[in-house]
Amino acid sequence: MAASDERIFVQAIRRYCAGHGIAVDVRADGWLIAMRRGDERRFAFGYDIGLNSAIAHRLANDKSATSEALALERVPCIPHHLFLNPKLGRNVVGHGWREAMLGLLRDHPQGAVVKPNEGTSGRSVFKVTTEAELDHAASEVFSMSAGLVISPYVAIEDEVRVVLLDEVPLVVYSKQRGTDWRHNLDAGAKPTLLDDSEVRTACVKLAIDAARAIGITFSSIDLVCVDGDWRVLEINSGVMMEALGKLHPALVQATYDAALDRVFDRVHSER
């Protein structure tokens, strides 16, 4: 793979390592990156550079667990109700799961959103308003996932992503929706950096509260404004900035540099 075809994440790690005397070995088309300095080796996998604890990483990657953890700390969030794949068996899934799904749909006549419990970029995300649409969405998601989540469909007035490192906001931008009802960057939304404002301040505070709730160190946190109030939509343990990197490459490089400084400073302190 040519360097120009690599993800911005991979290119950023290459630049950092080249500037800090760190050997780098890129495998699996860039999805596994080994970094070596002296006797110490660190890995990046996907978009995760290994700064977060195992439990924080798992919570962030599980939409249902994230919403439950945030609710425990009274952090405003969009609820995500978990349903396990019935193929796992009745002893695991139990009875009445479909009726519970239909109950959620009845509770939200404006519609519901069905999506995999784990996963990013808005893939296999369905808005449903009828029983037939719900059954189709559930079948599609269960065909490729061990579990799905159902959340109420809400009219999102604005969406902001905050990239945090040790509770410091390194990047804050809004997602300007395109023709799709979703705000995912892969669905055509455009990132726009936020200047100092009341919105930026409120979003940073909420993002920090969310990060504290699950004990995560390096993350991107998606926030949505609904009826004038900001809520957490999800927390991402892997920090992906591909779309932003095309517009603001220096900012994205500086953000990954700061995170990698933290990785290798920790290595140094453990010696």
Cβ–Cβ under 8 Å, residues 203 and 223: yes
Nearest to 251 by CA among 175, 185, 194, 196: 194
Predicted confidence (pLDDT) per residue in 197-222, tens digit: 999 999 999 999 999 999 999 999 99
Res 271 pLDDT > 50:
no
Pull the structure tokens for residue 194. Answer: 């936020």
- Residue 148 predicted with pLDDT over 80: yes
**Which pTM does this prediction carry?**
0.89
pLDDT tens column, 50-101:
999 999 999 999 999 999 999 999 999 999 999 999 888 878 887 889 999 9
Domains and CATH numbers, the chain: 3-46+244-270 (no CATH), 54-78+155-240 (3.30.470.20), 81-152 (3.30.1490.20)
